[in-house]
Amino acid sequence: MALMNDLREGNRFALSRVLSQVENNTPAGLQALDDLFPYTGKAHKIGITGPPGSGKSTLVNALTKQLRLQERDSRVAVIAVDPTSPFSGGAILGDRVRMLELQNDPDIFIRSMASRGALGGLSSQTEALSQVFDAAGFDFILIETVGAGQSEVDIVNLAHTTIVVDVPGLGDDIQSIKAGILEIADILVVNKADRPGADQSRRYLKAMIEMGGRSLASSAGKHRLAPALQNKEAETIGEEDVLWLPPVLKTVASQFEGIGELVSEILKHQDFLKSTGRWKQKESWTLREIVRKRVSGSLERDFFQELPAEVFETQMEAVIARKVSPTTAVKNLLSYNQKSRKPQLSE
């Protein structure tokens, strides 16, 4: 608890330790999340995603600097996720190399994270880390995903504003109408815009957004909402109120070009979310996802704790010998646990 108080008072050592406990999912970490939860819900979480080498880290560096310039009293946290090697379980976390100029500002805190086997572009604990920063009083939390392709879209469940970074020459107009990463953008950025083809890329992206037009603009908000909420939304908020057409900006992050405009769009999006009630909807969606994930995580843990290892092994041998299908094995295992379980639901 002393650590919690230190953290709330701005002690960076305490913050860093709690971040580790939470990342490692230790009992102390889980307790910390519980203690800190009442203080969360204030920070603006901004996701930055895009293909490897598109300049995400450099853009985060520029964005953080600009946010500190423009919003003078704000504190900015950065969570930078890099991939874990599927073979060794190790990782090289190299995003800080692009953020060296942010190092000596006490109102900035950068934490690198390995994805640790998660496939959606984040780590399973990224959301939890963002809660710690939120409770520690950071106003903006920038979350940089691993280099993402077309389906690493977890960031959308976490961020209020998702920025998708593209670079000139990556693909034609067919690439840009595919589903996936471009669809999740609240703001699209063509970075490295000093390279040939930047205007063409921007045109493709703009065309994609205009082609989708109204349907895309409204679904861009809707696909983040749980089905129950979607209906509710349709009743209470008219389509006109919820139109956000993602702007397409050109930047050269390494030269600091276009960054002021990007920050303005981020703040505009924040206003939009708050004035249309979407901010609250997003929060409720994120919290739903958290609880859902915790439920499935703890069910899985309990299941395997309850299941004797030899029962699992026996089933697996049958599967490996191709005598039993995986689906049947799952049924057998589930029913084994059900039979052996005593009634245990408490109030």
Partner 1 sequence: MTEKKIRVLIAKPGLDGHDRGAKVVARALRDDGMEVIYTGLRQTPEMISEAALQEDVDVIGLSILSGAHNALVPEVIRKVRENGQTDVIIFVGGIIPEADIQGLLDKGVFRIYGPGTDTRLVSREIREAVQAASRVD
Give me the residues that bind partner 1 (CB under 8 A), please.
Answer: 12-13, 16-17, 19-21, 23-26, 28-29, 84-85, 88-94, 96-97, 100, 103-104, 109-112, 114, 116, 124-125, 301
Q: Least separation, in Å, of the C-beta of 72 and partner 1? A: 22
Q: Which is nearer to partner 1, 45 or 111 (CB)?
A: 111
Q: Which is nearer to partner 1, 89 or 169 (CB)?
A: 89
Q: Least separation, in Å, of the C-beta of 74 and partner 1? A: 18
Q: Least separation, in Å, of the C-beta of 148 and partner 1? A: 20
Q: Least separation, in Å, of the C-beta of 142 and partner 1? A: 14
Amino acid at 296: S
Q: Least separation, in Å, of the C-beta of 25 and partner 1? A: 5
Cβ partners under 8 Å of residue 10, min gap 6: 136, 137
Q: Which is nearer to partner 1, 25 or 200 (CB)?
A: 25
Q: Which is nearer to partner 1, 88 or 327 (CB)?
A: 88
Token pair 């490897």 is found at 52
66-72 long-range CB contacts below 8 Å, 24 or more apart?
66/256, 66/259, 66/260, 66/262, 66/263, 67/140, 67/263, 68/105, 68/107, 68/108, 70/260, 70/263, 71/139, 71/140, 71/267
Instruction: Give the integer Cα–Cα distance in Å for 187 and 182.
Output: 10
Q: What is the token pair recorded at 10?
A: 């701005």
Q: Which is nearer to partner 1, 128 or 193 (CB)?
A: 128
Q: Least separation, in Å, of the C-beta of 80 and partner 1? A: 10
Q: Which is nearer to partner 1, 118 or 185 (CB)?
A: 118
Distance separating the N- and C-terminal Cα atoms of the chain: 29
Neighbours of 295 (CB within 10 A): 10
Task: Please give the sequence-ordered ranges of beta strands (E in DSSP) within 201-342, or none if there are none.
Answer: 248-250
Q: Which is nearer to partner 1, 133 or 285 (CB)?
A: 133
Q: Tell me the three-class secondary structure of 30-69, residue by residue.
A: HHHHHHHHHHCCCCEEEEEECCCCCCHHHHHHHHHHHHHH
Q: At what angle do helices 259-276 and 278-306 cross, to 10 degrees?
A: 90
Q: Least separation, in Å, of the C-beta of 224 and partner 1? A: 26
Q: Least separation, in Å, of the C-beta of 73 and partner 1? A: 21
Q: Which is nearer to partner 1, 52 or 260 (CB)?
A: 52
Instruction: Give the integer Cα–Cα distance in Å for 123 and 45.
Output: 16
Interior/surface letters 64-82, b for 16+ CB within 10 angstroms, e for the rest: bbbbbeeeeeebbbbbbbb
